[in-house]
């Protein structure tokens, strides 16, 4: 079965507020996006990579690939206005059946075990969504009020969100909706049940400046 890793890095990193696009910030001596590729290559050297980038960052990326002698073969695709549009652009480049792992470029600490968990379930059931249980209490805020909720009913959602190619391509034919915060929400809207699998706690999404420090520490402790 062919395995595709669709790495989405087409965002602007507004919450990071850094001059360097967050996907290119160095962690342990290399741009964090290269660590993300490595996580997949280590899990299976046969992955076929599609990388989504903002158009204005493609030259910088190619310069970085030269500078860091990054030789992992990949196809670069231009991103869109939202993550949905970026994923859709990437999926359009996949024309074979197989399993596609749609992964945030800014989650460099995904484990081989999470990738394997996703693969097994997506192969068996068509889709797999890695999640972890929250370790803090949760409050719902509405109409200026707030209340405690039963956290055992909630999970935090990670990537790679993993799918049979034909299934997710069909789901992405839907009109964009602002409720589509991830790929599972797109497939669910198309009427498909989502299968949860165990993610890994280190698989943080680099979003805020503090996340860079945390990721650096986690890489050092490996």
Ligand X SMILES: C[C@](O)(CO)[C@H](O)COP(=O)(O)O
Ligand Y SMILES: Nc1ccn([C@@H]2O[C@H](COP(=O)(O)OP(=O)(O)OP(=O)(O)O)[C@@H](O)[C@H]2O)c(=O)n1
Residues that bind ligand X (CB under 6 A): 83, 104, 157-159, 181-182, 205
DSSP string, 201-213: TT-----SHHHHH
Contact 205, 107 (CB under 8 A): yes
CB nearer to ligand X: give 65 or 189: 189
How many whole angstroms from its chain centre is CA 217? Answer: 21
**Closer residue to ligand Y (CB): 84 or 119:** 84
Distance, in Å, from the CA atom of 47 to the CA atom of 19, rounded to the nearest integer, reads 31
- For residues 171 and 102, is the Cβ–Cβ distance under 8 A? no
CB 27 within 8 A of CB 219: yes
Least gap, CB of 158 to ligand Y (angstroms): 11
Task: Closer to ligand X by CB, 65 or 156: give it.
Answer: 156
- Measured from the CB atom, the residue of 63 and 181 that comes closer to ligand X is 181
Q: How far is the CB of 151 from ligand Y (least distance, A)?
A: 23
Q: Within 181-220, which residues bind ligand Y (CB under 6 A)?
A: 205, 207
Question: Residue 108: which of ligand X, ligand Y, none does it interact with, CB under 5 to 8 A by kind?
Answer: none
Burial class, 153, CB count within 10 angstroms (exposed 0-12 / middle 13-18 / buried 19+): exposed
Q: How far is the CB of 96 from ligand X (least distance, A)?
A: 24
List residues binding ligand Y (CB under 6 A).
8-15, 23, 52, 79-83, 86, 104-106, 205, 207
């Amino acid at each position: 079965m062919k395995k595709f890793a669709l790495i989405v890095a087409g965002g602007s990193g507004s919450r990071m507020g850094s001059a360097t696009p967050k996907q290119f910030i160095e962690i342990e001596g290399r741009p964090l996006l290269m660590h993300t590729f490595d996580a997949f290559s280590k899990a299976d050297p046969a992955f076929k990579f599609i990388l989504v980038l903002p158009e204005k960052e493609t030259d910088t990326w190619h310069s970085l690939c030269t500078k860091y002698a990054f030789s992992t073969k990949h196809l670069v695709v231009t991103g869109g206005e939202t993550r949905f549009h970026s994923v859709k652009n990437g999926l359009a480049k996949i024309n074979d059946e197989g399993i596609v792992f749609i992964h945030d470029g800014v989650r460099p600490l995904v484990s081989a075990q999470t990738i394997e968990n996703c693969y097994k379930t997506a192969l068996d059931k068509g889709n797999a969504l890695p999640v972890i249980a929250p370790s803090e209490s949760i409050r719902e805020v509405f109409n200026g009020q707030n209340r405690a909720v039963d956290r055992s009913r909630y999970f935090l959602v990670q990537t790679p969100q993993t799918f049979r190619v034909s299934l997710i391509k069909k789901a992405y034919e839907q009109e964009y909706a602002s409720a589509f915060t991830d790929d599972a929400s797109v497939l669910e809207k198309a009427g498909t049940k989502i299968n949860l699998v165990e993610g890994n706690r280190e698989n943080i999404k680099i979003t805020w400046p503090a996340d860079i420090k945390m990721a650096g520490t986690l890489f050092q402790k490996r």
